[in-house]
Structure 1
């Protein structure tokens, strides 16, 4: 199955919602996101069953980031909102019923995910966040060091005669 990736950028980072087979997202740099909505398709039981794998994989790398469980495609069967989904209750995670097709609860989901992410970033005690911040600082320092050399190389070029 192809992955569905929706990103919303904020001034301090990004929120990403992923709906895909387990295993692949952690190898594409998604470890840096400060909040993780775990989305499953209410019409595809396999995506609900994959939540356990996704959650275990996430917690292996990011044990502290806030998670939200998202039941998508409620527009196909509104009665699904009356069902109990034990995964969310088992891990004490908030559960949102949404429809990406008609927009039901999507804005609320993203606003809450961003609110949780901002709170997490401001109060994080996670060692991985410290490591990731140091790596980000290193990248910024590298860019600053590279910038003057690029400016100098641009100035040393002499114009070609007409």
Structure 2
């Protein structure tokens, strides 16, 4: 993965396939990389494809417990817990965005503010260069 995957992320949903052990084993690598670029964002772990084997919902997955991450059992095929997962992820992301103390978030916010100031400063330039008619209502 690359840092651009995480640019401006406010939450992460890490999904593994309960039928493919390799996807569970990859969680550790993905999580390490996520924390390198976005150390503070909320993260949710998702065990997908429970429709194929409901016994998986009784299984304990150490990865989520080890990092104190919420674990959702879902089936994308039949929709089990999908809406709840996304509602919770959105709620966590919005809360994080409004309450973040992460240095990179503060830098990104300042850059966005700077960009907005630049755009506001550019408006008089457009008026000075003959673009007045595009700014006024017809």
Give the TM-score category using the shorter length: 0.7 to 0.9
What 5-or-longer segments of structure 2 have no aligned partner?
134-138
Alignment RMSD: 2.1
Pick from 42, 67, 82: which aligns with 2:43?
Answer: 67
In structure 1, C-alpha distance between the alignment counterparts of 2:79 and 2:121, rounded to whole Å: 45
Partner-residue secondary structure (3-state), 2:7: helix
Q: TM-score, normalized by length of structure 2?
A: 0.83
User: Match of 1:44?
Assistant: 20
Bigger proportion of residues as helix: 2
Count matched residues.
133
In structure 2, C-alpha distance between the alignment counterparts of 1:139 and 1:103, rounded to whole Å: 41
User: Match of 2:84?
Assistant: 108
User: Match of 1:137?
Assistant: 113
In structure 1, C-alpha distance between the alignment counterparts of 2:118 and 2:18, rounded to whole Å: 46
Q: TM-score, normalized by length of structure 1?
A: 0.72
In 2 relative to 1, CA 89–150 (structure 1 residues): closer, same or farther, beyond 3 Å?
same
In structure 2, C-alpha distance between the alignment counterparts of 1:133 and 1:69, rounded to whole Å: 27
What 5-or-longer segments of structure 1 have no aligned partner?
1-22, 157-162
